[in-house]
Amino acid sequence: MPFAAPARSRLRITLGAGAGGEVDTDVPVLAGVGVENLFGPARPAGREGPLALFQAGDWLLGAATLPLVAGLEQAARECYAHVFAATAGRHLARVWNYVPAINAPGPGGLENYQLFCRGRSLAFEQQFGKAFNMRLPSASAVGSESEDLTVVFAACSALPRHVENPRQVAAYDYPAEYGPRPPSFARATVIRAPGGTTVFISGTAAIRGHATFARDSLPEQLECTLSNLREISLACGLGFGLDEGGISTRHFKVYLRHAGDQPAVAARLAEGFLKSTDCVSYLKADLCRAPLLVEIEASLFGVTLLQPDPAASPVSLPA
């Protein structure tokens, strides 16, 4: 009788109690934390179209899963329009996107990720005009095993500071070779609050400038990814190691294209990158570019040692 591999659990995101508060991402968990709850207890805060909304202190959280009835691009555009309606008067701080068959070709010969990016970009432009880039929060977009698009967001009343990696071209400035509309996100977002600062680091991979580094070499891509994380950590004011000497609570998601790479990646991250108190999920997911093998994102809560940055004064956003 042939051996049947056990089915892997899927990452589940907990936003709050009640309908829509448990989000199934359809992203397999390889190791580590399988249920993510970043914001603690939250109460239901109604709905906006397909979005279930929750309130956790100053955080407004929301999630929706949309079938691709009119295609992926239209689903992304409609979902983000509802996100903007739900967050009116607040600021988007972080968005997680789980995109079905992210590297597969879609209508018109565009890759599904490119279709998603076009829908998201058009939604931002429709809401905020041509200068929408200054509004873009940290984000990630990875492949899921679902046939539907899932979007999860966090918004707040505090004015965020969106941060770029000086060694990378801003994603929203990518050249046309990556698609008709560039990705709409910042590399990181910093939110200062009296009780501590929150920092969201977007999905980070082996990209230098705008080019993929070390195609198909996991060790080289992982080192480039860690280098990029160090750069964005410095740009955020977290020092060289993502507040490694501080008291913040650190959550990491490590996305791997190939499940068999998990032990090697975990061993490398244990060599001075991760702390024993970190919450880490290792996940099997296709990434935004087919040659990319690993992507890492981070969410830090309760940062108290944020270094001052004279260039970091928040700019008032237009209403």
Q: Nearest 5°: phi and psi at 218? A: -60, -50
Residue with tokens 């906006």, as numbered in its chain: 48
Beta strand ranges found along the chain (DSSP E): 10-14, 22-32, 35-36, 43-48, 51-56, 59-66, 91-100, 138-144, 149-156, 161-163, 188-191, 197-204, 207-208, 211-212, 249-256, 279-284, 294-303
The pLDDT of 63-86, averaged and rounded, is: 97
Residue 38 included in any domain: yes
**204 in a domain, yes or no?**
yes
Mean pLDDT of the chain: 93
pTM of the full structure: 0.94
CA distances from 231 to 29, 91, 220, 298 (A): 28, 25, 17, 14
Please check whether residue 243 is in contact with residue 174, taking contact to mean a CB–CB distance below 8 angstroms.
no
What is the count of structural domains for the chain? 1
Identify the CA nearest to 9 among candidates 35, 29, 39. 29
Active-site residue numbers?
A: 295
pLDDT digits (tens, 9 = 90+) for 139-170: 999 999 999 999 999 999 999 999 999 999 99
Domain assignment present for 4: no
User: In which band, very low, low, confident or very high, does the pLDDT at 3 lie, cut at 50, 70 and 90?
Assistant: very low
Q: Which domain range does residue 21 map to?
A: 10-303
What percent of the chain has a predicted confidence (pLDDT) above 70?
A: 94
Better-predicted residue by pLDDT, 317 or 148: 148
**Rounded distance between C-alpha atoms, residue 160 and residue 135, angstroms:** 9
The CATH number given to whatever domain includes residue 42 is 3.30.1330.40
Question: Quick count: other Cβ atoms within 10 Å of Cβ 186?
Answer: 25
In a domain, 164, yes or no: yes
246-298: per-residue pLDDT in tens? 999 999 999 999 999 999 999 999 999 999 999 999 999 999 999 999 999 99
| In-domain check, residue 319 | no
40-44: long-range contacts (C-beta < 8 A, 24 or more apart)? Answer: 41/16, 42/15, 42/16, 42/17, 43/16, 43/17, 44/16, 44/17, 44/18, 44/19
In a domain, 239, yes or no: yes
- Reported as a single tens digit per residue, the pLDDT across 93-121 is 999 999 999 999 998 889 999 999 999 99
Q: Is residue 313 part of a domain?
A: no
